[in-house]
């Protein structure tokens, strides 16, 4: 009897889609902070796009996990989706994917609790996005069955290159802080 490849194809497609959405989410956040287009793109609109991409990425991650548990090609127990190292299939790369997903959820939830945890702590939490991106990249390369394909390698290389470029742009284009010049008092 031949097995139906639908869930296996869905798992692969949703995993790659989640990675692309994660990359675009990270890029939107970097563009929001570094403002390479000046005032041409409104911050409020870009913030909405950033949040929307975040929720699309989370949806693709959920679809990826559900498809993996329903697929019979790789036996993925439900616990392996939330417990790093519980997978028998490539346990370390899958654990990195689980940790990346949990970080994504944590960072996404931080939007709604930003006022409670304070802006400074919220910004610190957002620095974990880089860890999330590294974990997701390592997961995709080491656990993904399409990683040996040239197009998949190019996808990962392009994503890493784009995030490195945008991060460098942000770091190099930071406005320098200047001490405000005191305004002389007027005499009447």
Q: Report residue 158's pLDDT band, with 50, 70 and 90 as the boundaries.
A: very high
pLDDT of residue 183: 46
Quote the pLDDT of residue 46.
85
pTM of the model: 0.86
What's the rounded Cα separation, in Å, for the pair 54 and 45? 14
Is residue 80's pLDDT more than 80?
A: yes
More confident residue, 179 or 24: 24
Per-residue pLDDT, 176: 47
Res. 184: pLDDT tops 60: no
Q: Are the CB atoms for 29 and 52 separated by under 8 Å?
A: no
Q: How many CA within 13 A on the CB side of residue 184?
A: 3
């Amino acid at each position: 009897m031949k097995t139906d490849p639908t869930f296996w194809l869905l798992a692969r497609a949703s995993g790659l889609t989640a990675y692309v959405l994660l990359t675009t989410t990270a890029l939107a956040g970097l563009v929001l902070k570094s403002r390479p287009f000046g005032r041409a793109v409104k911050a409020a609109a870009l913030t909405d796009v950033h949040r929307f991409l975040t929720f699309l990425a989370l949806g693709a991650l959920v679809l990826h996990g559900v498809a993996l548990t329903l697929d019979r090609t790789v036996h993925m127990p439900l616990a392996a989706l939330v417990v790093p190292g519980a997978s028998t299939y490539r346990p370390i790369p899958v654990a990195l994917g689980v940790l990346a997903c949990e970080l994504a959820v944590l960072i996404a939830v931080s939007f709604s609790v930003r006022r409670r945890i304070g802006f400074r702590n919220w910004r610190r939490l957002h620095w974990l996005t880089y860890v999330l991106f590294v974990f997701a990249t390592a997961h995709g390369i080491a656990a993904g069955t399409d990683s040996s394909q040239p197009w998949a390698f190019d996808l990962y290389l392009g994503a890493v290159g784009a995030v490195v470029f945008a991060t460098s742009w942000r770091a190099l284009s930071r406005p320098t802080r200047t001490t405000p010049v005191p305004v002389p008092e007027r005499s009447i």
